């Protein structure tokens, strides 16, 4: 189990990227070997074909043998004809299918494999979730030396979901948000083993995955590795060359990016960065760096003063005591239906407060200082609950299900381009990720609400939400979504078996949909709130509950549940 999976880190934002450095100018590039090669063995023993095996048995054996991590998959090639074995590429990505797959002979020399398509992993380790369609692949076989062998294997690997989960580790390649104040996780799947640190750095050099690339900055762009990443005594040595001039002048962001990425690996606790074989030095930072030296860029930092809030009878309250917040918002004068607040990590003070009030004529967005007067900014037929991110003092909402609105700290509401939202369905929920680079939406679909995730792209004065994509197509009847951390969601969705709504956890790339306990809840949950290093909150039966110790309990353990709704954490 790796340390530091995205969202499990809780350092406080306490430093800024600054400083100068002196680095050497150039050095010959050394060929890198075994960037993505798997270890010799991680406990999967592939069995060769049995004498007299039927076509179905040969295909099943081939699928089983692909789960081996022996380099070049020599046993899997034994299930292929000699020509096919020479031609087959096992490095063209991975197709992940359900464990209950079925190889069925459709004629004497053809076997069709059918299964549920769980997803696919490309050559950079990026997982794309299946959209519910079936996986179907026919394989032709012929007799070779009296034994059935496959003539047309699919390029890449086809792995059963349990084999994939056992063989591959999910780690994040970290890039930077546009403000340069946080690293942003870009989940990847890599085979465990000695080559993993080099493979991870190679992914950083190649760049962010397509869905998120336009929303992040890559300080390592243009750089190259001179040799494999060497790990000795839990210190990873990264030797780079070809750094762009601006990065040479200030390599702070580059160092933070490497340290946060490599710290996730089991055998790495610190990183030494070299340039052309010589130590890269950043003033105020030791030569051997750890995440403690770059706590300023913690992807999931939350100010200490960021406590849960909720609305009861139009008034804003905190979960710590159930008491109203200071100012008129706590008195119920605005008849709030939902709210959001910004937090300043340097002062630990709450900044702006946004609220949505509803009436028979529609909805109104109000904004003002936390504890002060709120002023109406815009009206609509409907407005989603307001949302904030930790990297910018701004508030977002969706007007009338289709128009994404951004309200900067100083300025008028602005419409955000969201062309891929058209045709997806009306947006009922919209939540920014803690780093502000992604947005999670709940949109109306044919089977009820569906969860989409998009990327927030900023260019000069233009802001857009692009590449909206389903990340949990297996979940339907979705009613709410929240960011558990910068790389994971909590989703309230229908449980078809129980005909009820239950919480689910899912990665931002769609991997690992897992039901969360409902133990302790008095009724089905109807709203959810979450934040890094904070206890998840739900509304159930019109009252507030928090998840602690594997069960849902009242906000004050042993006390009666507090009535309310629309919970949120300031960011």
| Mean pLDDT within 27-42 | 39
Q: Do the beta carbons of residue 99 and residue 162 sit within 8 Å?
A: yes
Give residue 478's pLDDT band: very low, low, confident or very high (50, 70, 90).
very high
Q: Do the beta carbons of residue 420 and residue 443 sit within 8 Å?
A: no
Query: How far apart, in whole angstroms, are the C-alpha atoms of residue 533 and residue 300?
Result: 8
Q: b vs e for 440-479, b when ≥16 Cβ sit within 10 Å of the residue's Cβ?
A: bbbbebeeebbbbbbbbbbeeeebbbbbbbbbbbbbbbbb
Query: How far apart, in whole angstroms, are the C-alpha atoms of residue 520 and residue 359?
Result: 34
| Mean pLDDT within 398-416 | 93
Half-sphere exposure of 102 (CA within 13 A, CB side): 6
| Mean pLDDT within 526-533 | 97
Query: How far apart, in whole angstroms, are the C-alpha atoms of residue 500 and residue 558?
Result: 26
| Mean pLDDT within 353-379 | 95
Query: How far apart, in whole angstroms, are the C-alpha atoms of residue 484 and residue 88?
Result: 41
The encoded tokens of residue 242 equal 């070809």
The string of DSSP codes covering 488-553 is EEEEEEEETTTTEEEEEEEETTS---EEPP-TT-SS-EEEEE--TTS--EEEETTEEEEEETTEEE
Task: With a cut of 90, say whether residue 216 has pLDDT above it.
Answer: yes
Task: With a cut of 80, say whether residue 114 has pLDDT above it.
Answer: yes
Which of 219, 230, 133 lies closest to 180 in space, CA to CA? 219
Q: Do the beta carbons of residue 367 and residue 353 sit within 8 Å?
A: yes
Q: Do the beta carbons of residue 376 and residue 365 sit within 8 Å?
A: yes
Task: With a cut of 60, say whether residue 305 has pLDDT above it.
Answer: yes
Q: According to the model, what pLDDT value does residue 476 have?
A: 93
Give residue 1's pLDDT band: very low, low, confident or very high (50, 70, 90).
very low
Q: According to the model, what pLDDT value does residue 346 have?
A: 78
| Mean pLDDT within 225-250 | 93
Q: According to the model, what pLDDT value does residue 44 have?
A: 62
Q: According to the model, what pLDDT value does residue 42 have?
A: 45
For the chain, which domains are there? 55-167 (3.10.450), 195-297 (no CATH), 309-568 (2.120.10.30)
Q: According to the model, what pLDDT value does residue 556 have?
A: 87
Query: How far apart, in whole angstroms, are the C-alpha atoms of residue 487 and residue 477?
Result: 22
Query: pLDDT (tens digit, 9 = 90+) per residue, 75-93?
Result: 999 999 999 999 999 999 9
Task: With a cut of 70, say whether residue 21 has pLDDT above it.
Answer: no
Q: What is the DSSP letter of 290?
A: -
Residue 455 CB contacts under 8 Å (≥ 6 apart), including other chains? 211, 212, 214, 215, 437, 438, 439, 465, 466, 467
Give residue 248's pLDDT band: very low, low, confident or very high (50, 70, 90).
confident
Q: Do the beta carbons of residue 224 and residue 204 sit within 8 Å?
A: no
The encoded tokens of residue 447 equal 């089977």
Give residue 193's pLDDT band: very low, low, confident or very high (50, 70, 90).
confident
Give residue 29's pLDDT band: very low, low, confident or very high (50, 70, 90).
very low
Cβ atoms within 10 Å, residue 334: 23
Residue linked to tokens 């074995």? 85
Global pTM value? 0.90
Query: How far apart, in whole angstroms, are the C-alpha atoms of residue 99 and residue 97?
Result: 7
Mean pLDDT value across the chain = 90
Length of the chain: 571
Q: According to the model, what pLDDT value does residue 342 have?
A: 94
The string of DSSP codes covering 235-286 is EEEEEEE---HHHHH--HHHHHHHHHHHTTSTT-SEEEEEETTEE--BTTB-
440 strand-pairing partners: 431, 453
| Mean pLDDT within 295-302 | 94
| Mean pLDDT within 110-118 | 97
Cβ atoms within 10 Å, residue 396: 27
């Amino acid at each position: 189990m790796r340390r530091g999976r995205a969202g499990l880190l809780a350092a406080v934002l306490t430093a800024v990227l600054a400083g100068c450095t002196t680095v050497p100018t150039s050095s010959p590039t050394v060929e890198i070997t075994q960037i993505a090669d798997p270890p010799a063995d991680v406990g999967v023993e592939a069995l060769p074909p049995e004498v007299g095996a039927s076509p179905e048995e040969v295909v099943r054996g081939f699928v089983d043998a692909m789960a081996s991590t022996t380099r070049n998959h020599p046993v899997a090639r034994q299930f292929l004809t000699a020509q096919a074995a020479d031609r087959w590429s096992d490095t063209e990505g991975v197709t992940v299918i359900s464990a209950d797959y079925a190889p069925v002979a459709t004629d004497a020399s053809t076997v069709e494999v059918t299964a549920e398509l769980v997803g696919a992993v490309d050559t950079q380790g990026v997982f794309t979730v299946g959209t519910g369609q079936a996986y179907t692949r026919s394989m032709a076989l012929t007799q070779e030396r009296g034994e059935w062998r496959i003539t047309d294997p699919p390029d890449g690997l086809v792995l059963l979901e349990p084999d994939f989960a056992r063989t591959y580790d999910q780690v994040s390649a970290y890039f930077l948000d546009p403000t340069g104040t946080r690293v942003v996780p870009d989940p990847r799947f890599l085979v465990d083993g000695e080559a993993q640190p080099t493979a991870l750095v190679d992914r950083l050099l190649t760049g962010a995955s397509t869905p998120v690339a336009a929303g992040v900055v890559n300080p390592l762009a243009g750089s190259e590795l001179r040799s494999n990443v060497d790990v000795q005594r839990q210190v990873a040595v990264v030797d780079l060359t070809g750094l762009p001039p601006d990065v040479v002048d200030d390599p702070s962001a580059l160092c933070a990016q490497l340290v946060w990425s490599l710290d996730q690996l089991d055998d790495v606790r610190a990183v030494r960065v070299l340039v052309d074989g010589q130590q890269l030095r950043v003033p105020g930072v030791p030569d051997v760096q750890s995440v403690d030296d770059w706590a300023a860029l913690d992807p999931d930092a939350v100010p200490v003063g960021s406590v849960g809030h909720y609305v009861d009878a139009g008034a804003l309250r905190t979960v710590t005591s159930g008491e109203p917040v200071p100012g008129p918002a706590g008195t119920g004068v605005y008849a709030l239906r939902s709210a959001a607040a910004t937090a300043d990590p340097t002062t630990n003070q709450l900044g702006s407060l946004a609220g949505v009030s509803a009436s028979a004529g529609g909805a109104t967005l109000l904004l003002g200082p936390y504890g002060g007067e709120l002023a109406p900014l815009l009206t609509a037929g409907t407005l989603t609950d307001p949302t904030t991110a930790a990297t910018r003092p701004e508030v977002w909402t969706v007007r009338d299900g289709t128009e994404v609105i951004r309200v900067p700290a100083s300025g008028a509401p602005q419409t955000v381009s969201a062309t891929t939202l058209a045709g997806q369905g009306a947006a009922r929920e919209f939540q920014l990720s803690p780093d502000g680079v992604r947005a999670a939406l709940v949109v109306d679909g044919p089977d009820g609400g569906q969860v989409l995730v998009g990327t927030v792209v900023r260019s000069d004065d233009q802001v857009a939400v692009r590449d909206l994509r389903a990340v949990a197509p297996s979940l339907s009847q979705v009613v709410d979504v929240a960011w558990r951390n910068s790389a994971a969601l909590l989703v309230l969705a229908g449980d078809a078996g129980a005909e009820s709504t239950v919480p689910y956890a899912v990665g931002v790339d769609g991997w690992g949909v897992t039901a969360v306990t409902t133990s302790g809840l008095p009724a089905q949950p109807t709203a959810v709130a979450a934040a890094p290093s904070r206890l998840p909150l739900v509304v159930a039966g019109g009252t507030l509950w928090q998840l602690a110790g594997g069960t849902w309990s009242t906000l004050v353990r042993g006390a009666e549940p507090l009535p309310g709704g629309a919970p949120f954490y300031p960011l």
